[in-house]
Chains A and B, each alone.
Chain A
């Protein structure tokens, strides 16, 4: 595995610790080796030292088992590569050949781009020019989201990648799909017979998807101020969660079938155009406020952010999936920074009973049934329903039945990257995003992005530490609904 950007944040925080945990589970294939490639001038020893430090710091399993780590570090190598220099890719090729020869890896190669998105095309082109994109064994390239900044750039990126690698060798990582609880959405829906019959417009009133972060932009001002919440979160994580919630049962849990169904959902979403955008979207930006008991500054006061920035740190969309199953059911997505806490969840809100058998007074404290799929943290599922309060009278109150991952299984859930790296090694792209999926998502997002850039609807401000601007609450209120408090 070649990790481009091996000295960077993603490599240190996620990839190297994931490899360590895979090694600990004895999941790494025989002859496996990592070749770090980056601009820094490091020796193999220095790279191993850095890797050891990062694994100690960021591995999900602690303490570190030195009996696992030491042999893993022996598999790490390093080569300095300036991505703009073709010669350096040839040098990379020679190093790979050495490793092939020494470790009998039969030419299988994964090129992992843990680098800024603008380098993906360049790296793919250089790999092709150096003849590293094909040959004996498999040759796969892994790129991280965002996949382009709009439909056009996404298509250009796809075309460039596909010149060097066939589509089935391009692994687009949206790490959300590697989360256990995201995969559990499909398990809940399709491994149980009790949910699917009610999973439609007959009984479901609405779906709320919340992707909230308590953190700000964390020194990513330069990137974030050109991206915003819509591109950074909604286009990928948000729409992925919509597709998994709304998709039809695939024939099997295999890449083609699952991804076909996801694309069908994206193509069924009614595009927001013209006035729809002002009526069905809210874009917000946080001002200063208090989060987790700490005072935080306004977005515009963050480093590398324009003082008059119009970039949204909060986005809400109301979408409709125009198909038989979901006709008339709104999907509300909200994503934002500097919200009260970090939480990602999908709430399936059911309709109220058609007749109030027990009268309005008895039912006044009863919420409609709801299933909440908690993606993070405290991963789990809860079902809300009404139950009689033990007393002489007849009063109904809402109660919940909870399933929590952490207290239900004695095995710890792996990190998303562990699952995704392993899938990439064994050639299972089910949890990776396909090119048509990416394009379908951008086709929905582009018109919204364009309208937002022209100031429609106006940017709504919200204090840090709240669940977004009032306009987001009004959007639901106008539909006779309200946001669930996660």
Chain B
């Protein structure tokens, strides 16, 4: 059994139990809570739950993250969280279970009890997660499956769990064999049931980039530039095709939004990728280049550059993550722009239009907390057509290069 005990003080714990036992314990816990909270009131308060969030944790470390994150989410949104960890087979024993609860007491509303059910599944039962999970799901609210690490795309284990889920949440930045896994993830959309949504935390992390790029084209007088883009460049950390997923997602997002068609792509030494897209009657050149990692995570995007011309006016947009400090002639350093003292995470946007003075804009980035990312993602649902289109286009690019 795992060295990590799921909970310090679970409300209930059983080894070698059945799902029926877990359901029985849950019913008892809910009933006791409702009775306790009712006090002298004639009516008990209804139980509130907005979703079931299932975290599949392949390792002990993932289990810790899943529990911490789902509990953090539960404190903001009344939810039932289930964390599942696959364990080594034990003869005649399929399931160990823990139930913990957190009670939230909003000032203006009745108390809400959030449940975390931790299941350690032994042996073959883990191949049948759908059957294991289905009875535990809260009816009438969405069920999200958050698979930490690398989901077994195409395998029965995942397909079985997806049968009972409305959305799959992954983090393609955490994939092992990211190149293969990313392509399998993209192909999954073609076979998933139509209700099933797919979300990627890496896509969520790219949101500030997408917003910065979109904001450039938002003013009506700049819309014309969308049809005049001739170059797109993305800098990323690390080498190898598996590190180009974030760069490909940004490219896929722009390409799918503007109707570009991939004509050809090739990868060269040093992490360079060159691709040509057809945009109406024009070509758009796309280049990826690998930059030194420094303190960046492999695969992280560090800069996006877009250039072109329309209506006789040239334009250039550069968005840079945490840009390096520039040096003046005397060798003393200065910052590109003001930074907040408590963080160095900024996006710098440089805009050059025609002969005008360059415009600079600094955007402070929020810490990339997994719980915050998940909350944001789940609050808007996992059915995101923009992501789906971007994913398909990114997959084409990854595959071609």
Chain A residues with CB under 8 Å of chain B are: 214, 289-295, 340-341, 343, 345, 361, 364-365, 372, 374, 377-378, 382, 384, 389, 391, 395, 397, 399-400, 402-404, 406-410, 465-466, 482, 485-486
Q: In this assembly, does B137 line the interface, its C-beta being within 8 Å of a C-beta of chain A? A: yes
- Assess A290 versus B34: contact at CB under 8 Å? Given A341-B134, A389-B379: no
Closest to B384 in A: A364
**Closest residue on chain B to residue A341 by CB atoms:** B135
Measured between beta carbons, the chain A residues less than 8 angstroms from B18 are 292-294
CB of B312 within 8 A of chain A?
Answer: no
Q: Is the CB of B94 closer than 8 A to any CB of chain A?
A: yes
Given A374, A407, A465, which contacts B34 in the complex, CB threshold below 8 Å? A407
Contacting pair B46 A292 (CB below 8 A): no
User: Contact at B131–A402, with CB atoms within 8 Å?
Assistant: no
- The reply to whether B381 and A397 form a contact with Cβ atoms under 8 Å apart is yes
Is the beta-carbon distance between B20 and A400 smaller than 8 angstroms? no
Give the CA-CA distance A24 to B45 in the complex, in Å. 28
Closest to B195 in A: A482
Q: CB-CB < 8 A to B43: which residues of A?
A: 408-410
Is there contact, CB below 8 Å, between B46 and A404?
yes
CB contact list, B43-58 vs A, under 8 A: 43-48, 50
Nearest A-chain residue to B121, judged by Cβ: A293
Given contacts A340-B135, A485-B139, A486-B139, contact A365 B383 (CB under 8 A): yes
Q: A374, A395, A406: which has the most chain B beta carbons within 10 Å?
A: A406
Query: Does any Cβ of A come within 8 Å of B234's Cβ?
Result: no
Closest 7 CB pairs of A and B: A465-B131, A340-B134, A341-B135, A290-B128, A292-B19, A407-B44, A290-B131
Kindly provide the distance from the CB of B261 to the nearest chain A CB, expressed in whole angstroms: 24
Take A341-B135, A365-B381, A389-B379 as given contacts and tell me if A372 and B140 are in contact as well, using a CB distance cutoff of 8 Å: yes
B380 touches A290 (CB 8 A): no
Query: Is B164 an interface residue when CB atoms closer than 8 A count as contact?
Result: yes
Instruction: Please pick, from B20, B44, B46, B131, the residue contacting A410 in the complex, using a CB distance under 8 A.
Output: B44
A382-B140, A397-B381, A486-B139 given; A289·B46 CB < 8 A: no
Q: Check if B141 is an interface residue, CB within 8 A of chain A.
A: yes
Shortest beta-carbon distance from A29 to chain B in Å: 31
* Bound complex: CA A466 to CA B135 (Å): 11
Contact B34 A292 (CB under 8 A): no
CA distance in complex: A294, B141 (Å) = 26
Using Cβ atoms and an 8 Å threshold, which residues of chain B touch A408? 43-44, 46
Residue from the set A292, A377, A391 with the largest chain B CB neighbour count within 10 Å = A292
A sample of 15 cross-chain residue pairs with beta-carbon separation below 8 angstroms, ordered by A number, consists of: A214-B135, A292-B20, A292-B132, A340-B134, A340-B164, A343-B139, A372-B140, A382-B139, A391-B379, A400-B141, A402-B48, A403-B46, A465-B128, A465-B134, A485-B134
Chain B residues with CB under 8 A of A214: 20, 135
Interface residues of B in 172-199 (CB under 8 A from A): 195
Complex CA distance for A402 and B139, rounded to whole angstroms: 11
Please state if A289 and B128 are interface contacts (CB–CB under 8 Å): yes
- Whether a CB of chain A sits under 8 angstroms from the CB of B89 is no
CB distance from A301 to the nearest CB of B (A): 18
Indicate if B95 sits at the interface (CB-CB under 8 A).
Answer: yes
B217 surroundings in chain A (CB, below 8 A): none
Q: Do the beta carbons of B135 and A292 come within 8 Å of each other?
A: yes
Whether the Cβ atoms of B131 and A291 lie closer than 8 Å is yes
Residue pair B132, A400 in contact (C-beta under 8 Å): no
Measured CB to CB, the closest approach of chain B to A143, in angstroms, equals 32
Residue of A nearest to B139 (CB): A486
Given A340-B135, A407-B46, A290:B125 Cβ within 8 A: yes
Residues of chain B from 34 to 68 with CB closer than 8 A to chain A in the complex: 34, 38, 42-48, 50
A289 to B50, CA, bound (A): 30
Known: A290-B128, A407-B45. A485 touches B379 (CB 8 A): no
- Asked if residues B131 and A400 are in contact (CB atoms below 8 Å), the reply is no
- The reply to whether A485 and B137 form a contact with Cβ atoms under 8 Å apart is yes
- In the assembled complex, the Cα of A257 lies from the Cα of B291 at a distance in Å of 82
0/1 per residue, B131-148, Cβ < 8 Å to A? Answer: 110110101110000000
